[in-house]
Amino acid sequence: MCHYVTAVLPTRVPSEAVHAVAAKHHLQFDPIENRFVRQQLARSEGYFRVGRGMCDCGTPLGNRDLASVDDTLRQAAKLRKRGWGETKIERWIEQQRQNRIRAERDRASRESIDGPGLRTWLSFLHAVLRDPGVSSIGLLLHWYSGTLVDERLEIRSREAMVVEDLTEDMLTGIHEDVLYVFSLRRTSRAEGR
């Protein structure tokens, strides 16, 4: 149905403070009560919708299409089996690369229309973590087939990240259903839960 970006925040942090930071970045920040997610979080964590508008389809988060490179190579192998020559395949691979570059450039130019771009996400996360009362914030990308409240979402893993790890490249490389918890210092998995 749709991609949504959600957030996890320690419950001791006043969500109003993060809501204000989100608003400055033209983002929504609203609590979600999803019992399936709730069971996978610590009691000390809250779950929130963060984003713009109805959904986050087209988000640059997690869109580094590493699979497309693998898909291109797989497709090239199929083209070889069909009798295509190496020169023709190389031209086709270059065309695919140019198409990805053009699509990324188009996506960046539509950032303000379609939703938050990478710079907005980076700025928002850094601003949240600069608040002395916020020790961490987690991001979770998921393709929802139901509602935010009823989705039977399984968090596959939890990755502890420090603020220095926050780059555009890192954000484009996040994986669906992995909770990325950003903090000012690295924590063990046990500390984070």
pTM above 0.85, yes or no: no
**Which of these ranges, 42-46, 90-94, 112-116, 133-137, has the smallest mean pLDDT?**
112-116
Co-location of 179 and 84 in the same domain: no
Co-location of 81 and 120 in the same domain: no
Domain of residue 43 covers 2-59+115-192
Question: pLDDT digits over 72-105, tens only?
Answer: 777 788 788 889 899 988 888 888 777 666 666 5
Co-location of 90 and 143 in the same domain: no
Co-location of 96 and 184 in the same domain: no
Co-location of 178 and 102 in the same domain: no
Co-location of 119 and 88 in the same domain: no
Q: How many domains does the chain have?
A: 2
Co-location of 121 and 176 in the same domain: yes
pLDDT at 66: 42
Question: Which residues have C-beta within 8 Å of that of residue 77, sequence separation ≥ 6?
Answer: none
d(C-alpha 145, C-alpha 157), whole Å: 20
Cβ atoms of residues 163 and 182 within 8 Å:
yes
d(C-alpha 118, C-alpha 135), whole Å: 22
**Which of these ranges, 51-55, 112-116, 127-131, 188-192, has the smallest mean pLDDT?**
188-192
How many helices (H) and strands (E) in the chain?
A: 8, 6
Co-location of 84 and 50 in the same domain: no
Both structure tokens of 168: 């555009």
